[in-house]
């Protein structure tokens, strides 16, 4: 009888198993990435001596899409265009929004009139352009709307060539800013370390295609088609494959971090060849120590490493965090010049500070924001900003009161009022 019950129980379990909840339902939603090759069709984008921007953008975009598709079963890749066709600017963002995309990557190629020597790759996020150079990039990319006959109606009178039209970006609050800047930083890190490109940094400007995208979004400038050497590189298999690989590696890191933040774990596997700079340094040090046959050489290596660690710690301490205002200056407004932003803490010896001393930082939105030239005298800070404008073209003035950031226009008004 017991044997009969046993078979009945097994039969019931067999019927019940298919109806058990799938443990993978937490991962049921694909990660959606929209890749946007800039320009296309009758819009060539920037034109070089031997090529057009639209073709370079498409080439890199398709390679990036294939890398993602072939190595990530849980990712859905959508292209705003996969052939040489013209897509209106607002339609590109609409494609991403309709797909409820998790990420929007717009791919472009830079150009500078009158220069054949400027080089490097940069990544951009939505924001107010802090320099004429940044505004020029936004104007060039936004001028694509002039190819649309109804652009004045479609874009509510926005004139891509008028500086006044870009004032709207000053008052915009992008809730995806921190994620966008973080992804942009990851892309630049790969361009610098993996692709061996000149790192022109992460910047902000008023790009219409990013303004309309309701998700973390970046715009990548692969290089300068106006520079013959870079144009040649951007038209080689090696060049386009390397740049696509760099963006792909940054994408993997971002996706993994995103999944851990949302689900507490990640299915994204980072290939072994994608190593942190730290891991590479450790590996190089290990290989070096293996080659040292004598114990004395090994000891010398250890002493050297200890000294380097001490120097690094000393350098880290030299990066002074934002100092809380003391009682004597409790009601005083302090003006500072924000010179750059990073997703990680930088040493005071970092070459990006270009030799500046007494650099401070504050944290906002998960980012480290570095400042210089703190003073209660706005005019003094303004003069300092002008003196470093050659090295820090995107620098701008911010203000703090009682250790908290405040509206800089209100701070300037209060400063002028107190000076009377």
The H-assigned helical ranges of 33-130 are: 53-71, 89-98
CA–CA distance, 405 with 396 (Å, rounded to integer) = 14
How many Cβ atoms are within 10 Å of 336's Cβ, its own excluded?
25
> pTM for the full model?
0.59
Q: Which pLDDT belongs to residue 8?
A: 58
CA–CA distance, 134 with 169 (Å, rounded to integer) = 13
Q: Which pLDDT belongs to residue 253?
A: 93
| 63-72 pLDDT, tens digit each | 999 999 999 9
From 234, 263, 292, the end of a domain falls on 263
Q: Does residue 310 sit within a domain?
A: no
- On whether the CB atoms of residues 252 and 149 are closer than 8 A, the answer is no
Q: Does residue 47 sit within a domain?
A: yes
Q: Does residue 78 sit within a domain?
A: yes
Q: Which pLDDT belongs to residue 340?
A: 80
DSSP letter at 52 equals B
Residues 244 and 173 in one domain: yes
| Helices and strands (DSSP H and E) totals, the chain | 13, 12
Residues 78 and 198 in one domain: yes
Residues 204 and 118 in one domain: yes
CA–CA distance, 222 with 240 (Å, rounded to integer) = 9
| Range with the poorest average pLDDT among 6-15, 372-381, 409-418 | 6-15
Residues 336 and 404 in one domain: yes
Residues 201 and 327 in one domain: no
Which residues on neighbouring strands pair with residue 404, listed in sequence order? 401
Q: What's the number of domains the chain is made of?
A: 2
From 237, 263, 289, the end of a domain falls on 263
Range of the domain at 394: 320-419
Placement of tokens 């980072």 in the chain: 270
Query: Residue 387 is encoded by which pair of tokens?
Result: 């003196």
CA–CA distance, 267 with 246 (Å, rounded to integer) = 21
Q: Average pLDDT of the chain?
A: 77
From 229, 246, 263, the end of a domain falls on 263
User: Does 128 have pLDDT greater than 50?
Assistant: yes
| Range with the poorest average pLDDT among 15-19, 144-148, 240-244, 354-358 | 15-19
Residues 58 and 134 in one domain: yes
Closest Cα partner for 144 from 129, 130, 156, 158?
Answer: 158
Q: Which pLDDT belongs to residue 366?
A: 67
Residues 74 and 175 in one domain: yes
Please, what's the largest Cα pairwise distance for the chain? 103
The model's confidence at residue 99, banded by pLDDT at 50, 70 and 90, is very high
Residues 330 and 237 in one domain: no
Q: Which pLDDT belongs to residue 6?
A: 57
Q: Does residue 305 sit within a domain?
A: no
CATH of the domain at 348: 3.30.70.1070
Q: Does residue 282 sit within a domain?
A: no
| 177-200 pLDDT, tens digit each | 888 889 999 999 999 999 999 999
Q: Which pLDDT belongs to residue 76?
A: 96
**Bridging pattern class, strands 396-401 and 404-406:** antiparallel
Mean pLDDT of all residues in 296-305: 46
Q: Which of 135-144, 383-392, 407-416 has the highest mean pLDDT?
A: 383-392
User: Does 322 have pLDDT greater than 80?
Assistant: no
The model's confidence at residue 89, banded by pLDDT at 50, 70 and 90, is confident
CA–CA distance, 104 with 94 (Å, rounded to integer) = 11
Q: Which pLDDT belongs to residue 245?
A: 95
Q: Which pLDDT belongs to residue 365?
A: 66
Mean pLDDT of all residues in 294-303: 46
User: Does 15 have pLDDT greater than 60?
Assistant: no
Residues 254 and 121 in one domain: yes
Residues 194 and 92 in one domain: yes
Query: Residue 320 is encoded by which pair of tokens?
Result: 């002074």
Residues 331 and 246 in one domain: no
CATH of the domain at 201: 3.40.630.40
Q: Does residue 12 sit within a domain?
A: no
The model's confidence at residue 332, banded by pLDDT at 50, 70 and 90, is confident
User: Does 131 have pLDDT greater than 60?
Assistant: no
| 37-84 pLDDT, tens digit each | 999 999 999 999 999 999 999 999 999 999 999 999 999 999 999 999
Q: Which pLDDT belongs to residue 266?
A: 84
Residues 327 and 188 in one domain: no
| 221-268 pLDDT, tens digit each | 999 999 999 999 999 999 999 999 999 999 999 999 988 888 888 888
| Range with the poorest average pLDDT among 17-26, 123-132, 249-258 | 17-26
Q: Does residue 275 sit within a domain?
A: no
Closest Cα partner for 333 from 296, 291, 380?
Answer: 380
The model's confidence at residue 133, banded by pLDDT at 50, 70 and 90, is low
Closest Cα partner for 110 from 101, 119, 102?
Answer: 119
| 388-417 pLDDT, tens digit each | 888 887 788 888 888 888 888 888 888 888
């Amino acid at each position: 009888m017991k044997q009969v019950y046993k078979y009945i129980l097994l039969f019931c379990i067999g019927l019940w198993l298919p109806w058990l909840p799938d443990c993978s339902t937490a991962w049921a939603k694909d990660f959606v990435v929209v890749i946007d090759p800039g320009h296309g069709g009758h819009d060539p984008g920037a034109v070089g001596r031997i090529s057009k921007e639209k073709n370079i953008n498409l080439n890199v975009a398709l390679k990036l899409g294939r890398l993602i598709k072939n190595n990530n079963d849980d990712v859905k890749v959508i292209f705003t265009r996969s052939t040489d066709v013209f897509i209106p600017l607002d339609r590109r963002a609409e494609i991403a929004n309709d797909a409820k995309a998790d990420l929007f990557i717009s791919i472009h190629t830079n150009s500078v009139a009158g220069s054949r020597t400027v080089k490097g790759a940069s990544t951009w996020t939505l924001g107010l352009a802090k320099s004429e150079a940044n505004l020029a990039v936004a104007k060039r990319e936004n001028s694509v709307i002039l190819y649309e006959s109804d652009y004045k109606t479609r874009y509510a009178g926005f004139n891509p060539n008028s500086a006044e039209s870009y004032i709207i970006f000053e008052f915009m609050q992008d809730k995806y800013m921190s994620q966008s800047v973080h992804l942009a930083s990851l892309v630049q890190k790969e361009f610098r370390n993996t692709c061996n490109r000149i790192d022109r940094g992460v910047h902000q400007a008023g790009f219409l295609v990013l303004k309309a995208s309701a998700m973390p979004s970046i715009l990548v400038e692969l290089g300068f088609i106006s520079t013959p050497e870079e144009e040649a590189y951007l038209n080689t298999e090696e060049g386009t494959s390397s740049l696509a690989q760099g963006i792909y590696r940054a994408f993997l890191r971002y996706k993994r971090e995103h999944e851990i933040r949302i689900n507490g774990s990640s299915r994204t596997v980072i290939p072994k060849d994608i190593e942190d700079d730290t891991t590479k340094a450790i590996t190089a040090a290990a290989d070096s120590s293996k080659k040292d046959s004598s114990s004395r050489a090994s000891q010398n290596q250890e002493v050297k490493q200890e000294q380097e660690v001490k120097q690094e710690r000393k350098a880290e301490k030299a990066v002074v965090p934002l100092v809380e205002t003391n009682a004597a200056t409790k009601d005083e407004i302090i003006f500072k010049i924000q010179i750059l932003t990073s997703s990680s803490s930088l040493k005071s010896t970092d070459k990006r500070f270009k030799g500046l001393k007494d650099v401070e930082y504050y944290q906002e939105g998960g980012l480290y924001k570095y400042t210089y030239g703190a003073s209660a005298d706005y005019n003094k800070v303004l003069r300092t900003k002008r003196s470093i404008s050659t090295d820090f073209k995107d620098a701008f003035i911010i203000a703090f009161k009682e250790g908290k950031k405040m509206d800089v226009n209100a701070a300037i008004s209060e400063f002028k009022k107190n000076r009377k």
